[in-house]
Structure 1
Amino acid sequence: MKILITLIVLISMNEIQSVSAQEIKTVNFAQLKPLLHQTNDTTYVINFWAVWCKPCVKELPEFEKIRKAYAAKNLKVVLVSLDFGAHAADRVRKFLDRKEIHAHAIILDDPDANAWIEKVDENWDGAIPVTLIYNKEKRIFLSHAITSAELSKTIDRIIN
């Protein structure tokens, strides 16, 4: 009986893990660009980061806190990974699962960064982490690692 219960628990845990593991889509800049210019009633928090970037990794939990704190508001957090390589999607997915970060994530795989960096924001020099927070009326670009307090304050400025 104990073996049967253990087996059921293990199967259930596996099902829960497979449900929580998100699929990470890889896109080029042309596919990402529309996300940077939405005109609906949603406020977007778009963070550019990578698993190899220490300040990026340090601030990622802040985005998860914000995602949860603003769940009742019309806010969408998108993590745009700049990781690259043959297994980038698996690496990013496993990293986010391990850190229990459930915000929507995509990988931007477009090698001509010089062509698209300024299209994200004209003040971006290419360094990460950076965060774009916008809605149809306001747009703020933050070119440094941020805390959840700064993130909340900035989102509130955009929303209100």
Structure 2
Amino acid sequence: MKLQVACVFFVFLISCKTDTGKKKTSGAELSFADFPPKNVVSNDHMKVDVYDFEGFERFLHIEDNKTYVVNFWATWCKPCVAELPYFEKLNREYADKGVEVILVSLDMPGRLETKLLPFLEEKKLTSRVIVLDDPKQNEWIPKVDREWSGAIPATLIYNDKKRAFYESSMTYKELENNLNALNAN
């Protein structure tokens, strides 16, 4: 009898295991509060959520009525910084059209308070900014896109039907055209 109970309990534990990696997340039931960060970095004026890839990966698979523009960048990357105003403009002009911009900082963890937060304040970024802090880049880069070499800037644009990945900097017109091409039927 004890063996049967132990086997039933073991089967129950296995069946309760969830897969956060490949499973799609329905955004209709979730908000960003449902994506708890591993850490929060803040100063007197702002805060950013810090994720490892396991926590962050859900941001790449939200299925709702929105289109997500996920830009990977860093403050030390000149082409990244040059295109940030285009993402901000897209965020302003397309927010009421079901588009959400997420700026994923790949800045070094030890420089978040001294470099990233002051940069965000200075640039007055209004798009959602999160930090991806996971040293296992060789594991998570191909999970973002199989063809991604890891170079930045890089942008994933996706909705519940299509995905497109761009490993290059873009002008505003290119960004807008790529968004509209993805949303076209």
Give the TM-score category using the shorter length: 0.7 to 0.9
Does residue 105 (structure 1) correspond to residue 129 (structure 2)? The answer is yes
C-alpha contact (below 8 Å) 1:133/1:140 kept by paired residues: yes
Does residue 92 (structure 1) correspond to residue 150 (structure 2)? The answer is no
Percent identity, aligned pairs only, is: 43
| Structure 1: gaps of 5 or more residues | 1-17
> In the comparison of the two structures, how many residue pairs are matched?
141
Which amino acid in 2 is paired with 1:131? T
Q: What RMSD over aligned residues (CA atoms) do the two structures have, in Å?
A: 1.3
| Structure 2: gaps of 5 or more residues | 1-43
Aligned pair partner of 1:144 in 159, 168, 172: 168
2:61 aligned residue:
37
TM-score by length of 1: 0.84
**Structure showing greater Rg:** 2
C-alpha contact (below 8 Å) 1:55/1:145 kept by paired residues: yes
C-alpha distance after superposition, 1:70-125 (max 9, x if no partner): 02111110000000132415522221221122110011000010010000000100
Q: List structure 1 segments (4+ residues) > 2 angstroms apart after TM superposition.
A: none
Which amino acid in 1 is paired with 2:162? K
C-alpha distance after superposition, 1:8-38 (max 9, x if no partner): xxxxxxxxxx6xx442111000011011011
C-alpha contact (below 8 Å) 1:24/1:89 kept by paired residues: no
Deviation at 1:49, TM superposition (A): 0.4
2:99 aligned residue:
75
Taking the aligned partners of 2:93 and 2:82, their CA distance within structure 1 comes to 19
2:14 aligned residue:
none
Which amino acid in 2 is paired with 1:129? P
TM-score by length of 2: 0.73
Q: Secondary structure at the match of 2:47?
A: coil
Change (3 A) 1:89 1:39: farther
Q: Secondary structure at the match of 2:126?
A: coil
Does residue 59 (structure 1) correspond to residue 83 (structure 2)? The answer is yes
**Higher relative contact order (CA closer than 8 Å, sequence separation 6+):** 1
